[in-house]
């Protein structure tokens, strides 16, 4: 039987010093699915994304145990963390624009991979901006500083920049915090189209966003993975744990 897991987690725990973020987490993320992670603040959702992308390498307080594997290979086995991160793109809650033009924000990663040909860079930049539903809005001002774009445009620019790495997995952490509802819906449309090319892990505090987007959803609470299930099944009452049902019904969180 073929294992279609893109990411797998076995007894994963994250601590910051003596403080536990979460522990005992075991599950799988399938290839080409949108995997939602929901739960109240402090559940450990963002810490899980950090562990996937080995952000603890640059945080002496953060300690990760257990096994996280990409295509069956433990992410800790990668000697070059930057090569790992080329395969795993991240979009943070607030747009983090580089002090560069729109063009150079997207072209930076290809340049770092050794691409110098201007026509090739032009094609990459246009393709990534189109995939992020931003090309039509910025095609006539590619030399403008990315920081001068609107908040929603900047968030889509961070998605385009992540896509320029040609990742296999895209991690999104509360991408809609700083954008308006219309832009949120546009980005959600982008994510649906990217499902055909990527595996997406979506952390969100908006349970209805998880329902709209995620194929499967994980519920985390108090540093514990409570359950994972088909999204529509969870939302239609097919939960295995009363805590999940109460959270989805808005009784806490």
Task: Write out pLDDT tens, residues 171-189.
Answer: 999 988 877 888 889 889 9
pLDDT at 31 over 80: yes
Find the domain containing 210 and state its range.
5-98+170-248
Count of helices and strands (H, E) across the chain: 10, 10
Q: Is 233 contained in some domain?
A: yes
Write down the pLDDT at residue 2.
Answer: 43
Report the candidate in 138, 134, 104, 144 with the shortest Cα–Cα distance to residue 121.
104
Helix (H, G, I), strand (E, B) or coil at 32: coil
Over residues 46-87, the pLDDT tens digits come to 999 999 999 998 899 999 999 999 999 999 999 888 889 889
Query: Could you tell me the end-to-end alpha-carbon distance of the chain, in angstroms, rounded to an integer?
Result: 39
Q: What CATH number does the domain containing 201 carry? A: 3.40.50.300
pLDDT at 220 over 70: yes
Q: Is 40 contained in some domain?
A: yes
Q: Is 154 contained in some domain?
A: no
Q: Is 51 contained in some domain?
A: yes
Write down the pLDDT at residue 177.
Answer: 80
Those residues with Cβ within 8 angstroms of residue 201's Cβ, 6 or more apart along the chain or in another chain? 7, 29, 35, 37, 49, 52, 169, 170, 171, 172
Q: Is 73 contained in some domain?
A: yes
How far is 80 from 156, CA to CA, in rounded Å? 28
Those residues with Cβ within 8 angstroms of residue 164's Cβ, 6 or more apart along the chain or in another chain? 106, 107, 108, 109, 110, 124, 125, 128
Q: Is 165 contained in some domain?
A: no
Over residues 2-14, the pLDDT tens digits come to 468 999 999 999 9
Do residues 2 and 170 lie in contact, with contact meaning Cβ atoms separated by under 8 Å? Answer: no
User: Considering its fold, how many domains does the chain have in total?
Assistant: 1
Do residues 175 and 93 lie in contact, with contact meaning Cβ atoms separated by under 8 Å? Answer: yes
Q: Is 122 contained in some domain?
A: no
pTM of the model: 0.91
Q: Is 144 contained in some domain?
A: no
Over residues 86-117, the pLDDT tens digits come to 899 999 876 666 789 999 999 999 998 899 99
Strands 224-230 and 73-74: unpaired
């Amino acid at each position: 039987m073929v294992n279609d897991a893109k990411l797998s987690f076995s007894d994963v725990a994250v601590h910051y010093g003596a403080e536990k973020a979460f522990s005992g987490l075991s599950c799988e993320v399938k290839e080409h699915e949108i995997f939602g992670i929901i739960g109240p603040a402090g559940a450990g959702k963002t810490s899980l994304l950090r562990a996937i992308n080995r952000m603890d390498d640059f945080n002496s307080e953060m300690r990760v145990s257990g096994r996280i594997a990409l295509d069956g290979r433990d992410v800790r086995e990668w000697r070059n963390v930057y090569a790992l991160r080329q395969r795993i793109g991240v979009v943070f809650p607030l747009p983090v624009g580089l002090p560069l033009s729109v063009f150079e924000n997207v072209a930076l990663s290809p340049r770092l991979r050794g691409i110098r040909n201007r026509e090739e860079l032009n094609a990459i930049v246009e393709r990534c901006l189109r995939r992020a539903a931003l090309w039509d809005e910025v095609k006539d001002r590619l030399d403008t500083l990315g920081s001068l774009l609107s908040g929603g445009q900047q968030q889509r620019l961070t998605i385009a920049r992540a896509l320029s790495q040609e990742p296999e997995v895209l991690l999104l952490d509360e991408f809609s915090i700083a954008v308006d509802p219309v832009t949120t819906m546009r980005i959600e449309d982008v994510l649906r189209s990217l499902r055909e090319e990527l595996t997406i892990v979506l952390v969100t505090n908006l349970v209805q966003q998880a329902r709209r987007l995620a194929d499967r959803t994980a519920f985390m609470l108090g540093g514990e993975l409570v359950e994972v299930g088909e999204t529509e099944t969870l939302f239609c009452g097919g939960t295995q744990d009363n805590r999940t049902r109460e959270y989805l019904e808005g009784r806490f969180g």
